[in-house]
Amino acid sequence: DTAVSQTPKYLVTQMGNDKSIKCEQNLGHDTMYWYKQDSKKFLKIMFSYNNKELIINETVPNRFSPKSPDKAHLNLHINSLELGDSAVYFCASSQGSLALIFGPGTRLTVL
Amino acid sequence: KNEVEQSPQNLTAQEGEFITINCSYSVGISALHWLQQHPGGGIVSLFMLSSGKKKHGRLIATINIQEKHSSLHITASHPRDSAVYICAVRWYSGGSNYKLTFGKGTLLTVNP
């Protein structure tokens, strides 16, 4: 069983489009995260949700918005995509002091 | 702001060698993660530490809270250990907020 799943795995789209990446975890964790990994492989946290409340919101453009319909899902919506948004986006979850569990990543390419 | 520094940035070893990767940070933390990212891209959490030492198979992670330093050791290294190893620290940033800051990773290549 997949613990943290993301869809799609690959996303190729044109500049200016709006897209979403979905994330689901079946671990019963109470905190979920979105990370961006740029071309230099540097991981940076974008958002964190704990019990449906945003608790970390790094300075990312407001074109990015996390949406959590329930505890098991944290989707990432991106409006007006730009070339610089091309990256791999990872979802992760954790529970209390337990280790982070990452999803497989979504490679976004903006043309 | 918590500065997280990893060293070395790149490390090449021969199979069987003992490997050490270091991570230092500037602000007191509540937890430190060691992550492994293989060339295929997937990320695996190896350890989460808040004190002392943890061991899993050939991997050992230690943390010294006073010195703000952690090390990841790999004994009897193997080519399948080749990956990027990333240190991340969870720290209190004020109010009810915690933040995660990542190091830039250490690229380990183990040759047969």
Concatenate the DSSP letters of all residues of B9-33 into one string.
SEEEEETT--EEEEEEESS--SEEE
Looking up tokens 């990542």, which residue turns up?
A: B102
Q: Specify the pLDDT at position A38.
A: 85
Q: Specify the pLDDT at position A48.
A: 85
User: Is A3 within 8 Å of chain B by CB?
Assistant: no
Give the 3-state secondary structure of residue B78: coil
Range A42-71 average pLDDT: 82
Token pair for residue A63?
Answer: 């074109």
Residue A42 in this model has a pLDDT that exceeds 70: yes
pLDDT tens string, chain B, 112 residues long: the values are: 778 999 999 999 999 999 999 999 988 888 899 999 887 778 888 999 999 999 999 999 999 999 999 999 999 999 999 999 999 998 887 766 677 888 989 999 999 9
- A106 and A4 Cβ atoms separated by less than 8 Å: no
pLDDT band at A60 (very low <50, low <70, confident <90, very high): confident
With the CA atoms of B4, B8, B13 and B18 taken in that order, what torsion angle do they form, in degrees rounded to the nearest 10? -60
Q: Tell me how close the Cα of A55 comes to any Cα of chain B, in angstroms.
A: 6
User: Is A7 within 8 Å of chain B by CB?
Assistant: no
Q: How far is A57 from B107, CA to CA, in rounded Å?
A: 28
Identify which of B92, B18, B68, B37 has the alpha carbon closest to the alpha carbon of residue A90.
B37
Q: How far is B49 from B3, CA to CA, in rounded Å?
A: 18
Instruction: Give residue-wise pLDDT tens across range A70-96.
Output: 889 999 999 999 999 999 999 999 887
Range A18-37 average pLDDT: 93
Residue A58 in this model has a pLDDT that exceeds 70: no
Question: Which residues does chain A have within 8 Å of residue B48's beta carbon, measured at their own beta carbons?
Answer: 97-100
User: Is A90 within 8 Å of chain B by CB?
Assistant: yes
Range A33-59 average pLDDT: 80
Concatenate the DSSP letters of all residues of A19-80 into one string.
EEEEEEE-S--SEEEEEEE-TT--EEEEEEEETTEEEEE-S--TTEEEEEEETTEEEEEE-S
Residue A56 in this model has a pLDDT that exceeds 70: no
Instruction: Kindly determine whether residue B97 and residue A42, on different chains, have CB atoms separated by under 8 Å.
Output: no
Q: How far is A1 from B54, CA to CA, in rounded Å?
A: 27
Q: Specify the pLDDT at position A109.
A: 96
Q: Tell me how close the Cα of B100 comes to any Cα of chain A, in angstroms.
A: 7
Identify which of A101, A92, A103, A107 has the alpha carbon closest to the alpha carbon of residue A34.
A92
Enter the DSSP assignment of B79.
G
Q: How many CB pairs under 8 A join A and B?
A: 57
Q: What percent of chain A has pLDDT over 90?
A: 57
- A72 and A4 Cβ atoms separated by less than 8 Å: no
Instruction: Kindly determine whether residue B45 and residue A100, on different chains, have CB atoms separated by under 8 Å.
Output: yes
Q: Specify the pLDDT at position A21.
A: 97
Instruction: Kindly determine whether residue A99 and residue B47, on different chains, have CB atoms separated by under 8 Å.
Output: yes
User: Is B12 within 8 Å of chain A by CB?
Assistant: no
